[in-house]
């Protein structure tokens, strides 16, 4: 059966759930680049291919459970994110060094400890650092975030889902998403400061 | 309350950006940042952080992986065995 360019994700999912393999291929083609990028951000480029395969296989096997209560893309992101988390947990790896040290510092009165120039340096990290160095450092930094913060930050800030969509994907309240994304931003901002040569 | 510390401002920054702080607190935060060069600088770097991480991790899927993914999915479904 030919698949129309106009078919919505949800229509393709319905047809795929009824056994239309061409419809599922179309879903894979539509989403593979986004799923790969998401997997790279959640588990790193080395493990991303495995997570992409596991994620799409899980999507295929669970098509019948897609109730069309949320957008298909949101549902797919949930499955791939879960596949990535399971993949990370299955790996035997050293615990990543915490990024807590990169949180902002304040004096006893609650004022920033640094100068405005120091505080702003993270904004110019992409100008100050070699592109490849920054890419490697960014991947390493994401790997060092606690799992809960990483998934929220990646979905909200890197994949640019809305806070409500991230809450749906992760099965938590929007306020929890905001708290996790905020902590991740603070740590990563401090990390960029350190990369650019300034203590957080 | 007419002002907050930098630390409180940082704690409320995400909620402020998402529009979920009360109007009176929003006004206080905006007034604080407008008069605090350190917070102005901090907010600029906080806002830039997602963009920098997004651009630095925007890898593209290798073409060979695209081919192998479809082949993997077809094999898992047993295409061609029926």
| Mean pLDDT value of segment A61-69 | 87
Q: Which residues pair with A106 in a beta bridge?
A: A112
User: Is the pLDDT higher at A65 or at A92?
Assistant: A65
Percent of chain B with pLDDT over 70: 95
Using a CB–CB cutoff of 8 Å, tell me whether B2 touches chain A. no
| Mean pLDDT value of segment A50-78 | 92
**Per-residue pLDDT at A96:** 66
Pick from B7, B20, B53: which is nearest to A188 by CB? B53
Confidence band for A70, pLDDT divided at 50, 70 and 90 = confident
CA dihedral A50, B62, A131, A115 (to 10 degrees): -40
For residue A95, pLDDT over 90 is answered with no
Percent of chain A with pLDDT over 90: 74
| Mean pLDDT value of segment B49-64 | 94
In terms of Cα–Cα distance, which of B20, B64, B3 is closest to A163? B20
Phi-psi region of A106 (alpha: psi -120 to 50; beta: other; left: phi over 0): beta
Confidence band for A97, pLDDT divided at 50, 70 and 90 = confident
Please judge whether A158 and B57 are an interchain contact, meaning their C-beta atoms are less than 8 angstroms apart.
yes
Instruction: Give the helix ranges, DSSP H, for A48-90.
Output: 48-61, 72-90
Tabulate helix, strand, coil % of chain A (nearest 5). Answer: 70, 0, 30
Rg (CA), chain B: 24
For residue B1, pLDDT over 80 is answered with no
The length of chain B is 82
For residue A200, pLDDT over 60 is answered with no
Half-sphere exposure at residue A160, Cβ-oriented, CA atoms within 13 angstroms: 8
**Per-residue pLDDT at A5:** 61
DSSP A66: -
**Per-residue pLDDT at A2:** 53
CA–CA separation, A120 and A123 (whole Å): 6
| Mean pLDDT value of segment A13-34 | 94
Residue A150 vs residues A38, A68, A129: alpha-carbon distances, Å: 11, 27, 23
Sign for the CA dihedral angle at B79, A74, A49, B58 comes to positive
Confidence band for A14, pLDDT divided at 50, 70 and 90 = very high
Best mutation target, B17, B57, B58, B74, to test chain A (most A CBs within 10 A): B57
Q: Report chain B's mean pLDDT, rounded to a whole number.
A: 92
Q: pLDDT digits over B2-25, tens only?
A: 789 999 999 999 999 999 999 999
**Per-residue pLDDT at A61:** 93
| Mean pLDDT value of segment A7-36 | 94
Q: Which residues of B touch A45 (CB under 8 A)?
A: 59
Residues 6+ apart with CB under 8 A from B82: none
CA–CA separation, A49 and A155 (whole Å): 19
Rg (CA), chain A: 19
CA–CA separation, A71 and A28 (whole Å): 16
CA of A196 vs chain B CAs: smallest distance (Å) = 12
In terms of Cα–Cα distance, which of B13, B59, B10, B50 is closest to A126? B50
Q: pLDDT digits over A102-158, tens only?
A: 999 999 999 999 999 999 998 888 888 899 999 999 999 999 999 899 999 999 999
Residues 6+ apart with CB under 8 A from A84: A38, A39, A42, A43, A51, A55, A151
**Per-residue pLDDT at B64:** 93
ipTM: 0.91
Confidence band for B28, pLDDT divided at 50, 70 and 90 = very high
Lowest model confidence (mean pLDDT) among A17-21, A38-42, A195-199, B62-66: A195-199
CA of B12 vs chain A CAs: smallest distance (Å) = 9
Q: 3-state DSSP call for residue A53?
A: helix
CA–CA separation, A156 and A164 (whole Å): 9
Q: pLDDT digits over A149-160, tens only?
A: 999 999 999 999
């Amino acid at each position: 059966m030919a698949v129309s360019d106009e078919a919505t994700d949800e229509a393709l999912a319905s047809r795929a759930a009824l056994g239309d393999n061409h419809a599922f291929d179309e879903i894979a083609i539509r989403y593979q680049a986004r799923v790969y990028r998401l997997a790279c951000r959640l588990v790193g480029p080395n493990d991303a291919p495995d997570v992409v395969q596991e994620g799409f296989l899980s999507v295929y096997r669970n098509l019948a459970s897609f109730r069309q209560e949320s957008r298909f893309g949101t549902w797919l992101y949930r499955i791939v994110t879960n596949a990535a988390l399971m993949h990370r947990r299955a790996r035997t790896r050293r615990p990543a060094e915490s990024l807590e040290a990169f949180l902002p510092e304040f004096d006893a009165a609650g004022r920033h400890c640094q100068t405005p120039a120091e505080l702003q340096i993270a904004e110019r990290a992409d100008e100050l650092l070699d592109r490849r160095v920054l890419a490697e450092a960014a991947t390493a930094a994401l790997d060092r975030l606690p799992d809960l913060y990483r998934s929220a930050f990646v979905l909200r800030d890197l994949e640019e889902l809305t806070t409500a969509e991230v809450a749906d994907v992760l099965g938590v309240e929007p306020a929890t998403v905001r708290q996790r994304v905020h902590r991740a931003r603070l740590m990563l901002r401090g990390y960029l400061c350190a990369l650019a040569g300034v203590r957080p | 309350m007419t002002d907050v510390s930098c630390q409180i401002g940082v704690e409320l920054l995400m909620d402020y950006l998402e529009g979920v702080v009360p109007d009176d607190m929003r006004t206080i935060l905006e007034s604080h940042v407008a008069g605090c060069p350190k917070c102005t600088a901090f907010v600029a770097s906080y806002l830039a952080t997602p963009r920098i991480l997004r651009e630095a991790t925007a890898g593209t899927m290798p073409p060979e992986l695209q081919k192998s993914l479809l082949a993997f999915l077809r094999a898992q479904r047993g295409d061609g065995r029926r």
